[in-house]
Amino acid sequence: MATTVALVTGANKGIGLETARQLGARGVTVLAGARDEARGLQAERALRDAGAEARFVRLDVTDPKSAQEAADWVDHQYGRLDILVNNAGIGPKTRAGGPPSQTDLDAMREVYETNVFGVIIVTNAMLPLLRRAPAARIVNVSSEVGSITSMTDPASPLAQMPASLAYPSSKSALNMITALYAKELRDTPVTVNAANPGYTATDLNHHNGFRSVAEGAEASVHLATLDADGPSGILWGYLWTAGPSDAYGPLSW
């Protein structure tokens, strides 16, 4: 039986590195996508030291040429791809914060290039390889701040956050993109789902998150290792709620 092959984008640190580590611990061959060679090779070494079968793949998700080169390499090495975790993302930069009325469009475009267009670029480059796998899984790493349901529920702690457009709306777009890929692929064995890591301590939020990366990677790993008859077109993971304990499981978009 051939090994399961997974590509995780933005795998050189944070939730992506931990997702790669957890998949590697399950015997999956992990291809650690990183845009910077030195950071990628460092991640490859850390994953191998943790016992994973891991290989660095250079991949800048905003660059179609880079995505195609990565796909060609995966094709040459393995001939197929079983799991794609679209994890790479950038947070609200200072310029892309602020209220909607003061949106800096250039900063907003930068967030969309990675969080929205990057996912489409990588998914479309990898789809021919994913279609060759017996039951491929695509996981798009979203965020609870992308949930229109939560952000507009006055009882949700998320509704109390200051309004800013770039990052939350990029993840709302990603949620719809997930649902529409699932729709296109519904008659195939490929599942397409979105993961909510929850507020996780990483560089993205200057380590202010209250979850560990182990928890943050949980939803991605769950969706990446679904049974062949598992669901497609769902949002799954952690949600900060007003209740005594946070939700974990299937979530409203």
CB of 91 to ligand NAP, least distance (A): 6
Burial code (b: 16+ CB inside 10 Å, e: under 16) for 75-100 equals eeebebbbbbbbbbbbbbeeebbbee
- The 3-state secondary structure of 92-147, one letter per residue: CCHHHCCCHHHCCHHHHHHHHHHHHHHHHHHHHHHHHHHHCCCCCEEEEECCHHHC
Q: How far apart are CA 215 and CA 238, in angstroms?
A: 9
Q: Which of 171, 181, 199, 238 is catalytic?
A: 171
With contact defined as beta carbons under 8 Å apart, do 81 and 57 qualify?
no
CB of 154 to ligand NAP, least distance (A): 22
With contact defined as beta carbons under 8 Å apart, do 167 and 91 qualify?
yes
Q: What are the structure tokens assigned to 82, written together?
A: 């079983």
Examine the residue annotation and report whether 65 is marked as an active-site residue of this protein.
no
Examine the residue annotation and report whether 167 is marked as an active-site residue of this protein.
yes
Residue ranges in contact with ligand NAP by CB under 6 A:
9-10, 12-16, 35-36, 39, 59-62, 87-90, 114, 118, 141, 143, 197, 199-200, 202-205, 209
Q: Pick between residue 1 and residue 153 the one whose CB is nearest to ligand NAP.
A: 153
Q: Which of 13, 65, 112, 167 is catalytic?
A: 167
Q: Pick between residue 43 and residue 229 the one whose CB is nearest to ligand NAP.
A: 43
Q: Pick between residue 24 and residue 209 the one whose CB is nearest to ligand NAP.
A: 209
Burial code (b: 16+ CB inside 10 Å, e: under 16) for 25-46 equals eeebbbbbbbbeeebbebbbeb
Q: Pick between residue 214 and residue 228 the one whose CB is nearest to ligand NAP.
A: 214
CB of 134 to ligand NAP, least distance (A): 27
CB of 142 to ligand NAP, least distance (A): 7
Give the residue numbers annotated as catalytic, written as ranges. Answer: 167, 171
